[in-house]
Amino acid sequence: MLYFTLRRLSVAVLVALTVSWLSFSMIYLSGDPATALAGETATAADVENIRRIYGYDRPIVVQYVDWLMNALQGNLGRSHYLKSDVSKIIMERLPTTMLLGACALSFALILSIPLGVLAAIRPNSLFDRFALTLAVIGQAMPSFWFALTLILWLGIYGIGGVRLPITGSASWLNFIMPSIALGYYVTPAVMRLTRAGMLDVLSSDYIRTARAKGLRPRTVLFKHALRNAIIPVVSLAAVQFGFMLGGSIVIETIFNINGLGYLAWESIQRADLPVMQAIVLVLSIIYVIITFLADMLNAFLDPRIRVH
Amino acid sequence: MADVAEIKGHAPTADVILEPTPGAILRRRIFRHWGLIFGGIILLVIVLMALLAGVISPHDPYDQQLARKLIPPIWHESAKATWTHPLGTDHLGRDYLSRLFYGAQVSLMIGFLAMLISGIIGTTLGVLAGYFGGRVDMIVNFIVTTRLSMPVVLVALAVVSLIGGSLTVVIWVLGLLIWDRFAVVMRSATMQIRNRDFVAAAEALGCSRTRIIMTEVMPNIMNHLIVVATLEMAHAILLEAALSFLGLGVQPPTPSWGLMVSEAKGLMFFDAWLIAIPGIALFLLVLSINLLGDGLRDVTSPDGRS
Amino acid sequence: MWRRFTCAALGAFIVFSHPDVAQAGKADDTLVWATDRENTVIDPYYSNTRELVILGRHVWDALVTIDIKSGEIKPLLSTSWKWLDDKTIEFKLRDGVKFHDGRDFSADDVVYTINFVTNRANGVVTYNNVGWMAGAEKVDAKTVRIKLKKPFAAALAYLANAVPILPKGNYDSVPTGPGGKKDFTQAKPVGTGPYKVVEVKSGEFVLMERFEGYIKGGPKGTPAIKFLRYRTIKEKNTQVAESMTGAIDWIWDVPKEQAERMKANPRLTVENAKTLRVSYLQFDVKGVSPQKFFMDKRIRQAIAHAINRDAIAKSLVGPASEAIHAACHPDQFGCTADVLKDMVRYPYDPEKAKKLLAEAGHPNGFAFDIYGYREREFTEAVIGDLAKVGIKAKLNWLQFRALREKVRKGEVSVNMMTWGSYSIPDASAMVGHFFAGGPDDLTKDPDLTRMVEEAGNTPDAAKRKVLYAKVHARIAAEAYWVPLFTYAKYYVYSKDLAFTTTSDETPRFYLAKWK
């Protein structure tokens, strides 16, 4: 286990370093960073001054190491547009996006695990086909279309006289629509995996033994089968959570949620490079950490993985 | 992601080939699989629409006539509805049916080319990793993990905004970003094939590695490749739609379905047909490609759907 | 287990969702208005967004104000003024005025504000609006003199609309930004206006509360509504959806088709009103950008002939919009029909456009990049018209500040932008900004600059008209710009709200009331 952990950890660190290099080099994609930082009213002397202060006149590798050292200490630079420290801005917005991601993931799991289990109990039945159709349809709808349709039906018309708030973050009600809109796209994958896992487990010897022993079907299903089938779902859910953090741009824009996705979209429009760079870095690192933890959990739950 | 796990459960595909009349079995399976048939028919219709756009379009898709804008489609009860514009006109008075036909070209092209680029990258990496294993596998694994950790939509948006959006840029950016699933699936498929007798036999005969990969490995992982290709094509089409929605995809006046949805979004709450027509077209396209992919996976795996 | 969980969740949902979720409106005396632009700088001199012009009127007061109905200049922070000579105005100041933080208003504040903003080194963003002043001096506690650099006819109009008075020492305690420079954009917003800023969440909202110590019986009246909340909502759809549900009381810039359809909603008032904003195409006539096509006058003229401005104005913008042919708004002084009667015009004529393109050596047209930042469908319509004469324009979409920066750097060959003249009903607010050699002047035409300056400095109205006629004739003859149309704004607001639209794009919420 120790060997596995060390190996997995070193991969994670290497990936994190590569990603940091990639997000660092983003600043050079659009030309001279000093001019961009100096802002619109700057004179040529200001630009030179900033180039010197920020050290853009040094070799790129030196700049990168310097930037990395700062980033490790939580200093991600300054946004010339928002006139504030990037790490401060990101820390303000990150909780919202994390909360949204967690809500969306909960929604997805609550919907898809029961569906997957039920579909696996009666494979190829009408219900199985229905669940599969739901999954296929989910994959095929453009997310913004789905989100706007939700607004139309739940926000404007309302169901049963109850209308959900469209924007804002005043109460948990505000998170219902965005969570559905974001979480729905995770459902197909989780559902399929739960179904496949359950089918696998249900046809295995120990479940047959459990059944033969005369245990109640429900006990067999929940205590023995689901517990084992759920292991791969845990790591899939972790990976999907990482994807959702990065994929919430469209949803946050539509529901006017002041999270990281919305900030990213604004920064892209403003060409606010330090912020863009930092968001890519932060999201990537979060993903690296989440997948590392998921792998560790998996290895803990399923000893076979460790020897691979 | 689920596909990776599912594919692990598949019995080796080579069995199909060893069965007595594989062609007949395959054909029987295909025709029993309604999803495959349904997906195939829709996709065929859309491809025909795209190919024949120049012939069957009643109007020029770029012809803007502000005087006749927002004519509703023919089934609408409004008196303005006319057979001259069966699907009505958009906010700039362009014929919606013609834009839908030409839009099919653009959406299919983006999906197909982006899939092709990502397919080439992903398959190369995946097959190399699966065949050689060891250090090569480690390096590929590392590249894939790095790619997976970068948020796709965000990076695509950032790059497109920094170099400017156009059809070519969108295709390349998407193609260079979504090869991960190809790599993962091709790697595990190749690993399974690699340990089989006929590969060992070819190696023993002293065939070159390139030859073995091309003639022994590739044909046997083709079915997995096609399945992933369909999924990624659908993925690329949806991503383009999302980029267009944020104004960074294909630039107007080029009609892509994603852009049509995006242009109509303002009237979504009032003239729902305007967003519903390209939205449903997009939905059907992605749905048909997905059904086709699922269907192909089912009929080419010997146990049917597992 | 699942069943129990589902039941509990459903129960919780029903219990919690019953309380009314509306957060705006009459019930809690909060007027919520929203636009799509995020404002990170809440200072009237370091931001030139429309939102800051509006906030400027609510949070700060100027020495004088323009009466909406009569157009007359009325005293506000002053009680009277007189011209000592054609470069000096003396103001007597109002007694008993207080700033939001409780300090008394006096001559020192006026002197501080004007001397600060006219100092080039402080780099105010709206320098074009204040640069005509040389400075201010205190005569006594209630008397100030404003010195002009040279005679300036529209001085009082500018003082009313573009020179809000800040408290003395407003910028003293700002933080130091990168490069060791003071970051003046971070000053705390304090004024004497009818509303005080209570809370700012950068890029999200600005909450204002009625200032109970506001001037009694002044020309701006006494505000009726307790709270104003300005929100940034990017997506127009979201704004529309929120106003239909009553979570927002007031929005504007609603696209025509949407607004026309919102008339059916019983809780909303929809209004189309004229504005001073105009839309135009600006060319890189010097060929600084990589695309050099627009150095050729014939190409610029071809584009002017290719665009069907009347159609765009009437069918896309709204009934109150009109096509324009000069670089100014028809309601501005120096832009009226009598001034423009001899100017060259480029009526809609695609055939002529094609001919001009052929003459310029592009019979099959060419491709270039066009940049825009607001009302995408207007720009798309222009692109559609250009496509008909064979010119392929590729659309690039940016935010205002990013685009302006790019234009100033000379990286943009053609931009379609808009200008609201800071609500000043005088052509100098437009041609003075774009053709007098400033950063947004891409023509750098010294003759034109001289003409514009002369027109701006001449006090005599009749003479000014003649000079403006020359200016517009020159711009049109060279086709430096393609002026497109005036904006007509659709306002959508709650039926509970008694609100009056004004053509200067500055809603006066301090005059609004709940019905």
Give the count of Cβ contacts less than 8 A between chain A and B: 151
CA nearest to C373, candidates C317, C434, C442, C419:
C419
| pTM of the complete model beyond 0.90 | no
Is C36 in the A-facing interface, judged by CB distances under 8 Å? no
Strand, helix or coil at C186? helix
Segment of A22-31, B78-87, C9-18, C431-440 carrying the highest mean pLDDT: C431-440
Within chain A, residue ranges assigned H as helices are 2-25, 33-38, 44-53, 60-72, 86-121, 126-140, 143-150, 176-183, 187-202, 205-212, 217-219, 227-247, 249-254, 260-270, 273-301, 304-307
Contact C451, C467 (CB under 8 A): yes
Q: Say which of A11, A142, A148 has its CB closest to residue B238.
A: A142
Place of tokens 């070159």: B208
Q: What is the mean pLDDT of the segment spanning A116-133? A: 82
Which residues of A are less than 8 Å from B149 in CB distance? 15, 19, 242, 284-285, 287-288, 291
Contact C316, C324 (CB under 8 A): no
Question: Which among C253, C397, C398, C484 is the top mutation candidate for probing chain B, defined by the most B β-carbons within 10 Å of its own β-carbon?
Answer: C397
CA nearest to C260, candidates B93, B249, B271, A105:
B271
Residue A32: its pLDDT value, please? 65
Beta strands in C291-397 (DSSP E): 367-372, 392-397
Is A166 in the C-facing interface, judged by CB distances under 8 Å? yes
Query: A211-228 burial by CB neighbour count: b if 16+ within 10 A, else e?
Result: eeeeeeeeebbeebbbeb
Among all residues of chain B, which has the CA nearest to that of C376?
B263
Which residues of B are less than 8 Å from A291 in CB distance? 145, 148-149
Q: Is A245–B151 a contact, with Cβ atoms under 8 angstroms apart?
A: yes
Q: Say which of B91, B253, B271 has its CB closest to residue C387.
A: B253
Q: What is the pLDDT of residues A208-247, one digit of tens each?
A: 777 777 777 777 777 677 777 777 788 788 878 887 887 7
β partners of residue C19: none
What is the Cα–Cα distance from A168 to C135, expressed in whole angstroms?
Answer: 45
Within B179-256, residue ranges assigned H as helices are 180-194, 197-204, 209-211, 218-245
Residue A69: its pLDDT value, please? 83
Residue C301: its pLDDT value, please? 95
Question: Which among A139, A266, A276 is the top mutation candidate for probing chain B, defined by the most B β-carbons within 10 Å of its own β-carbon?
Answer: A139
Contact C429, C160 (CB under 8 A): no
Q: Is A256–C18 a contact, with Cβ atoms under 8 angstroms apart?
A: no
Place of tokens 């005080």: C196
What is the Cα–Cα distance from C230 to B87, expressed in whole angstroms?
Answer: 40
What integer best gives the mean pLDDT of chain B? 80
Among all residues of chain A, which has the CA nearest to that of C121?
A41
Rg from Cα positions in chain A: 24
Structure tokens at A293: 């933890």
Beta strands in chain B (DSSP E): none
Q: Say which of A162, A171, A256 has its CB closest to residue C233.
A: A256
Stretch (H or E) spanning C489: strand C481-494
DSSP label of C276: E
Q: What is the pLDDT of residues B181-216, one digit of tens each?
A: 888 888 888 888 887 778 778 877 877 878 888 877
Q: Is B252–C261 a contact, with Cβ atoms under 8 angstroms apart?
A: no
Q: What is the pLDDT of residues A24-52, one digit of tens each?
A: 877 676 566 666 555 544 566 667 776 77
Q: Is B150–A280 a contact, with Cβ atoms under 8 angstroms apart?
A: yes
Q: How confident is the model at residue A190 (pLDDT cuts 50, 70, 90)?
A: confident
Q: Is A30–B162 a contact, with Cβ atoms under 8 angstroms apart?
A: yes
Which residues of C are less than 8 Å from A262 in CB distance? 234
Q: What is the mean pLDDT of the segment spanning A145-151? A: 83
Among all residues of chain C, which has the CA nearest to that of B266?
C237
Q: What percent of chain C has pLDDT over 90?
A: 50
Q: What is the pLDDT of residues A256-296, one digit of tens each?
A: 888 888 888 888 877 777 888 888 888 888 888 888 888 88
Contact C114, C131 (CB under 8 A): no
Residue C493: its pLDDT value, please? 93
Please list, in sequence order, all residues whose beta carbon lies within 8 angstroms of the beta carbon of residue B184, skipping any fewer than 6 positions away.
B4, B126, B144
Following DSSP, what letter does each residue of C19-31 receive, concatenated? S-----BGGGTEE
Which residues of B are less than 8 Å from C240 in CB distance? 266, 269
Q: Say which of B6, B151, B246 has its CB closest to residue A283.
A: B151
ipTM metric = 0.80
Q: Is A249–B2 a contact, with Cβ atoms under 8 angstroms apart?
A: no
Q: Is C381–B66 a contact, with Cβ atoms under 8 angstroms apart?
A: yes
How close is the nearest chain A Cα to the Cα of B205, in Å?
30
Q: Is B158–A276 a contact, with Cβ atoms under 8 angstroms apart?
A: yes
How close is the nearest chain A Cα to the Cα of C323, in Å?
30
Question: Which among B154, B270, B275 is the top mutation candidate for probing chain A, defined by the most A β-carbons within 10 Å of its own β-carbon?
Answer: B154
Question: Which among B269, B273, B274 is the top mutation candidate for probing chain C, defined by the most C β-carbons within 10 Å of its own β-carbon?
Answer: B269
β partners of residue C209: C196, C227
Q: How confident is the model at residue C24 (pLDDT cuts 50, 70, 90)?
A: low
Question: Which among C234, C378, C380 is the top mutation candidate for probing chain B, defined by the most B β-carbons within 10 Å of its own β-carbon?
Answer: C380
Beta strands in C25-69 (DSSP E): 30-35, 64-66
